[in-house]
Amino acid sequence: MKNNTINKEEILKFSKMADEWWDPEGKFKPLHNFNPVRIKYIKSSILSNFNKRNSDLPLKGIEILDIGCGGGLLSEPMQRLGAKVTGIDASKKNIAIAKIHAKKNNLKIKYINSSPEKLKIKKKFDVILNMEIIEHVDDIDLFIKKSSELLKKNGLMFIATLNKTLKSYFFAIIGAEYILRWLPMGTHDWNKFVKPLELTKLCKTHSLKLEGLDGVKFNPILNEWKISRDNSVNYITKFKKS
């Protein structure tokens, strides 16, 4: 059995683009566009699960671990909403960029260069974010297992990824990378995409019960992402630790 989830080729690929994390028109433009719907989904789910009220700091008292945090595109909004955030990433360059940007904006976020199986921390978290990351790791089973071990009982884990369908191949790879050039060519490997049923079964073996599964679809007319019933390309899930 493997004891490492790090895919060195994937880390190198994203490290080379790290300087562009906070450029809304750069190589991470799709994630900047994706962020509002992700934040809204995560926030509302946390409020419901932990019986919290919407306020100026609605996530106050919630401890979040953002795995594969990149330059901090999700870590920062979560902290601004009041959460205590720890962000980890296997790329040293990503973590360096994240630290600089957080310091510049006076945000107290703990960033660590690590993958979940190598994280030397004893505490557990209320919420774990695995957003657009599992399709880039080397061993999904180990990755989910180690992520689950870092989650408190009754805590939430969010996983956003790509479905393994013919439609996702044409839309997420041929369309987004080769035709529209939304993403650099080679960003995704269709063989690493995961069907929702497979993900649900895998998570169940690691004490994670499916609480919600929604598609996320791009509306070209409004130029924004929306939660959708169509999960044939992008989808987002929330699991509860039993």
Residue range 147-162: mean pLDDT, rounded: 98
pLDDT given at position 75:
98
Tell me which of 71-80, 83-92, 121-130, 178-187 is least confident.
Answer: 178-187
C-alpha span between 240 and 232 (Å, rounded): 23
Q: Measured in whole angstroms, how far is the alpha carbon of residue 40 from the centre of its chain?
A: 14
**Among candidate residues 229, 226, 234, 218, the one with its CA nearest the CA of residue 37:** 226
Pairing mode, strands 110-113 and 63-67: unpaired
Show the domains of the chain with their CATH numbers: 8-164+194-241 (3.40.50.150)
Residue 107, Cβ density class (10 Å: 0-12 exposed, 13-18 middle, ≥19 buried): middle
pLDDT given at position 179:
66
Residue range 90-113: mean pLDDT, rounded: 97
Pairing mode, strands 84-89 and 234-241: unpaired
Give the mean pLDDT of the chain: 93
pLDDT at 142 over 60: yes
Tell me which of 146-155, 180-189, 225-234 is least confident.
Answer: 180-189
**pLDDT tens-digit series, residues 76-87:** 999 999 999 999
Tokens of 200: 């649900």
**pLDDT tens-digit series, residues 198-229:** 999 999 999 999 999 999 998 878 888 999 99
**pLDDT tens-digit series, residues 164-194:** 999 998 888 887 766 667 777 778 898 999 9
pLDDT given at position 103:
97
